[in-house]
Amino acid sequence: MDITFEKVGYTYQKGTPFESRALYDIDFDIKDGSYTALVGHTGSGKSTILRHLNALNKPTEGKVIIGDREIVSTTNNKNLKSIRKKVGIVFQFPESQLFEETIAKDIAFGPKNFGATEEEGVEIAKRMLPLVGLDETYMERSPFDLSGGQMRRVAIAGVLAMEPEVLVLDEPTAGLDPKGRKEMMDMFYQLYKEHGMTIVLVTHQMEDVASYANHVIILEQGTVVKEGPPREIFQNEPWLESKQLDVPATVSFASRLEERIGLRLGDIPLTTDELADQLVAHLASSSIEGGDAK
């Protein structure tokens, strides 16, 4: 399902003395089956955009086209459920949305709101738990007995349980340890690869952007300042710095190498694997040339 923003503007508390503008003239496409990363400095409007993706906010100007539905400022608040089912959002610190007595019930809460029966809900919960790395023994436990990381998994399972076509993630790994972080990001990537899910990721982790996304949208002060594939985006380190953003560690390592010892590796390396391959290739070629691989 495609999501298109056409000249979208959004003003908070419009018509009151506390009015503040958050978005200006936003134009972009999130193509079906893409992995889009939304990056930008704090307060650039990422979270506001995110709430437009499933019509939690309606644009005050322009329109958002979600699948075959068009959302404008005058769109009625009724009948938006079908959109919410198709676009699942995992908000920041989603563990704060848990409320049911048991984990199974909490996971089934979303599907039941969209019309699933009690049995179907349990069935779905059973399927979702392994997906987020928990097993069936957790079904009847209270979500409030879990550790922070496990609670987050349950909350994410609750969103996945609605079987959305588009999964929106707002800093899903914030506050997790490195292992949990990696597991979670790999899980999302698997959903993207194997289940053909469209993913929108809001993050400050440039490494995640480089290793997973295939489309990057950069925001600054409520407008899109650049978009394109990650390799193109990370090409220009000084420009990113001027937007108070970073390049992935591998990219800055490669550019440092070039700066210090004049070693040029070719394409900018987005992941450690790519960097390692390039270095190996370079060492191999230089050992053929000079015999000294130091």
Q: Considering the rule CB under 8 A, would residue 122 count as an interface residue with another protein?
A: no
- For 6, 36, 44, 55, the CA distances from 94, given in Å and listed in that order, are 29, 20, 21, 19
The residue from 114, 174, 242, 283 that contacts another protein (CB under 8 A) is 114
Our CB check for another protein shows the closer of 109 and 212 to be 109
Q: How far is the CB of 183 from another protein (least distance, A)?
A: 22
The residue from 88, 180, 230, 248 that contacts another protein (CB under 8 A) is 88
Q: How far is the CB of 163 from another protein (least distance, A)?
A: 12
Q: Considering the rule CB under 8 A, would residue 137 count as an interface residue with another protein?
A: no
The residue from 16, 42, 74, 137 that contacts another protein (CB under 8 A) is 16
- Select from 130-138, 156-164, 174-182, 274-282 the region that touches another protein (CB under 8 A): 156-164
Q: Considering the rule CB under 8 A, would residue 215 count as an interface residue with another protein?
A: no
Q: Which residues bind another protein (CB under 8 A)?
A: 12-13, 16-18, 51, 54, 56, 78, 81, 84-85, 88-89, 91-92, 94, 96-99, 109-110, 113-114, 144, 158-159, 162
